[in-house]
Amino acid sequence: MGIHFGVDYYPEHWPRERWETDVQLMKEMGVQVVRMAEFSWFKMEPTLGEFHFEWLEEAIALLDSYGIKTILGTPTAAPPAWIVRKNPEIQPIDREGRRRYFGGRHHDCQSNPVYRAHIKRFVTAFAKCFANNPGVIGWQIDNELGNSHGDLCMCTSCQQLYQKWLKRKYGTIEALNDAWGTTFWSQGYNDFIQIGTPMITAVGENPSAMLDWKCYCSDLIVNFADWQAEIIRNICPNHFITHNFMCFDNKVDYYDLAGLLDFVSNDIYPAGHWQKQPHQPESELAASHDVVRGYKKKSFWMMEQQSGMAGWEIMGRALEPGQMSAWAMQSVAHGADAVIFFRWRACAMGTEQYWHGILGHSGKPGRIYNEVKKLTQTFTKYMEDFEGSMPCPEVAIVHNFRQNYALDIQPHHPQLRYVEQLQKYYKALYDKKIPVDFVQDMDNLSQYKLVIAPLQYLMTPELEQHYMDYVANGGHLILTMRTGVKDANNLCMTKMELPGRLGMLCGIEVPEYDCLLETTGGVLYGKKEYQIEKWCDIITLNGARQIAEYSTGFYKQTPAITENKYGSGIAWYIGTEPGEELMEDVMTYITEVCEIETLGTAGDGVEMMTRESEDKVWLFVINHTNDEQIYHLHGRYTLLEGEREEALKPYEVQLFVGNKRR
Ligand code: GLA
Ligand code: ZN
């Protein structure tokens, strides 16, 4: 598409006289695209049916006269007050039965037919107005779908839709009673109309019902997006449609959502004010980009890349010189074709006054402006060359929203989080400079030398077979604690000892287990004792070889990690959560057995990543620290951008190109 850098722009926040200065400054900085209008419903329709798109047309024309294209956002994450006054029933209801009112954003119910009628009217007019506008290239549906208050809406409209969804899924109420195990605590239903949304209970909740609720909520969001996209698709067949995702966020199954988009976009705030550390660790950011690339198995856009200090009531850390550029190029290294910075200029009003941008409140170009300018001047030309290219990792980590939901419902250990668990495995590979793909469990795995499938908690006969076939045909698979515990309805498996048929694959059985709560445990691996956390599966060998044993608990000297040859492949079972050191050493061993290539060697804080086209490999070496660093590459590449090979200045990003090996 030839577009690689942009900004999120809110011309309506500033006087008309300022616009041209903004656009000139953008142009000089290297901006090729802006996103606009995703929160401007009131400006565009101040009263029912009275549309005012002139101001936006003017802004688009001005931008276009400087060669800057526009993406328009549908403003449906913030319906105006007049709609809410007219139809208060569109405001969502939370689990405690309270309404969430106007005054922030996301005060809407996505199933409500009255709200949908308002959207249909508005989006139709909006799309018609801009369908043939030469400055407009595409659309963002809504904004960060799923990013609302904690629970999705529990209103009567949502309840009715949920009942219908359940009826479609189960057919008969008897089937639902079986799937939810409603015999327990007298929870049986005679009819679908007796089923409510999961409002706050006196005590406890049904894990099977909760899993369906989360899946239903995801389906509702996907339906909401698809329904809006359809309106636009019909009117603007030449425009792309995308949506801004939030990394690993899980209110909606992003694989489903990605299906209806031309490409996926992502938002990332590495130094958000909510971060416990000054900023999110780079390995976690890298994993976020990799999972986003995986949602559609396609390169993506960054729709919001942090460009200034982040804050609402509380603020995060200021960005060090070069730090933001390193994060932006990290996005690119992992598959972003375009980076749009949030936001052009810090806003003088509203909740996000302190969510800073490229320009501060004064609007004067300063340090960050100059940094971005240098970035676009350096990298735009190369991004043109590798647009659409993808990393080609040898290792995949399995990621699945249903597992995430089930473990959110019952985390077992107070600190066990599905995504964090994936991140721990990811980090060990990241530190070794081994690129990773995220895949869904039933994807074709045969291209990967190693597949890591943590917490395969919900299991189906098809998935068991899929993993067994992968290994039988020469694949290397890591399974971990809590595998094969439940069926697809979140009911416990009863026919076999854990981990079910996968016990044959791994050559083990898991008749017992232990939750470590606030204690930690130990294992012996080689001659060393290591720390483990959270959980211990108590394993008996059934053909497998033990490679580590517990050194604590009544089960000490029993297997903690096992290895089993199966067909022409190998299956490892890791019955616990390895501490960082054990993770590192075990992953060194396993990646060596699998003959996985590493891109190079370097200290912590130096990242290496590649994107590949038919015949070329682009290699990125990124220094995420404020210190000088040295590194060494495995493989022959030519330096395209950078001061000096094998050495990095603080926050320096180097780019290499090489020939693809066949
Ligand atoms: C999100 C939203 C933006 C803005 C930023 C900063 O990513 O999409 O509208 O609110 O966060 O809070
Ligand atoms: Zn609702």
End position of a domain, from candidates 386, 405, 424 = 386
The one catalytic residue among 304, 464, 533, 549: 304
Average pLDDT (259-287) is 95
Look at the alpha carbons of 220, 225, 231, 237 in this order and tell me if their dihedral is positive or negative: negative
* pLDDT, tens digit (0-9, with 9 covering 90-100), for 326-379: 999 999 999 999 999 999 999 999 999 999 999 999 999 999 999 999 999 999
Residue 529's domain spans which residues? 395-593
Q: Which CA distances in Å does 126 have to 21, 58, 105, 470?
A: 27, 15, 20, 49
Average pLDDT (570-584) is 98
- Gap between the Cα atoms of 641 and 644, Å rounded: 9
Residue 525, domain member (yes or no): yes
Residues 587, 611 within the same domain: no
Does residue 142's CB lie within 6 angstroms of at least one atom of ligand 1? no
Amino acid identity of residue 237, one-letter, is P
- The enclosing domain of 518 has a CATH number of 3.40.50.880
Mean pLDDT for all residues in the chain: 97
Atom of ligand 1 nearest to the CA of 267: 7
Helix/strand/coil percentages in the chain, nearest 5: 35, 25, 40
* pLDDT, tens digit (0-9, with 9 covering 90-100), for 612-644: 999 999 999 999 999 999 999 999 999 999 999
Tell me: cis bond preceding 559? Omega within 30 of 0 counts: no
Residues 419, 377 within the same domain: no
Q: Helices then strands (H, E): number in the chain? A: 17, 27
Average pLDDT (165-186) is 98
Q: Kindly give the distance from the C-alpha atom of residue 340 to the centroid of ligand 1, in angstroms, as a whole number.
A: 13
End position of a domain, from candidates 593, 619, 651 = 593
User: What is the pTM assigned to this prediction?
Assistant: 0.98
Residues 470, 581 within the same domain: yes
Amino acid identity of residue 187, one-letter, is Q
Residues 405, 535 within the same domain: yes
As a residue count, the chain comes to: 662
Residue 190, domain member (yes or no): no
Atom of ligand 1 nearest to the CA of 269: 7
Q: Which residues surround ligand 2, an ion (CB under 5 A)?
A: 109, 153, 155, 157-158
Q: Kindly give the distance from the C-alpha atom of residue 349 to the centroid of ligand 2, in angstroms, as a whole number.
A: 30
For residue 438, what are the contacts with CB-CB under 8 A and spacing of at least 6?
287, 290, 291, 293, 294, 396, 397, 398, 399, 422
Six token digits for residue 174? 């008897």
Residue 187, domain member (yes or no): no
Residues 223, 368 within the same domain: yes
End position of a domain, from candidates 386, 411, 438 = 386
- Specify which residues 544 forms β-bridges with: none
Q: How many domains does the chain have?
A: 3
**Residue nearest ligand 1's atom 6 by CA:** 355
Does residue 148's CB lie within 6 angstroms of at least one atom of ligand 1? no
Helix 367-386 × helix 19-29 angle, to 10°: 60
**What pLDDT score was predicted for residue 41?**
98
478 touches 450 (CB < 8 A):
yes
Atom of ligand 1 nearest to the CA of 355: 6
Q: How confident is the model at residue 248 (pLDDT cuts 50, 70, 90)?
A: very high
Tell me: cis bond preceding 343? Omega within 30 of 0 counts: yes
Angle at 480 between CA 474 and CA 486, to 5 degrees: 105
Q: Kindly give the distance from the C-alpha atom of residue 156 to the centroid of ligand 2, in angstroms, as a whole number.
A: 6
Residues 528, 612 within the same domain: no
* pLDDT, tens digit (0-9, with 9 covering 90-100), for 367-418: 999 999 999 999 999 999 999 999 999 999 999 999 999 999 999 999 999 9
The position carrying tokens 């990124």 is 622
- Gap between the Cα atoms of 148 and 567, Å rounded: 48
**What pLDDT score was predicted for residue 37?**
98
* pLDDT, tens digit (0-9, with 9 covering 90-100), for 74-96: 999 999 999 999 999 999 999 99
Residue 526, domain member (yes or no): yes
* pLDDT, tens digit (0-9, with 9 covering 90-100), for 125-146: 999 999 999 999 999 999 999 9
* Residue 447 phi, psi (nearest 5): -75, -10
Residue 527, domain member (yes or no): yes
**What pLDDT score was predicted for residue 171?**
98
DSSP state of 411: -
Q: Kindly give the distance from the C-alpha atom of residue 112 to the centroid of ligand 2, in angstroms, as a whole number.
A: 6
Residues 235, 329 within the same domain: yes
| SS3 state at 392 | coil
Residue 350 burial by Cβ neighbours in a 10 Å radius (0-12, 13-18, 19+): exposed
Q: How confident is the model at residue 661 (pLDDT cuts 50, 70, 90)?
A: confident
Residues 14, 32 within the same domain: yes
Residues 80, 110 within the same domain: yes
Comparing 601 with 148, which gets the higher pLDDT? 601
Q: How confident is the model at residue 148 (pLDDT cuts 50, 70, 90)?
A: confident
Ligand nearest to the CA of residue 115, numbered in listed order = 2
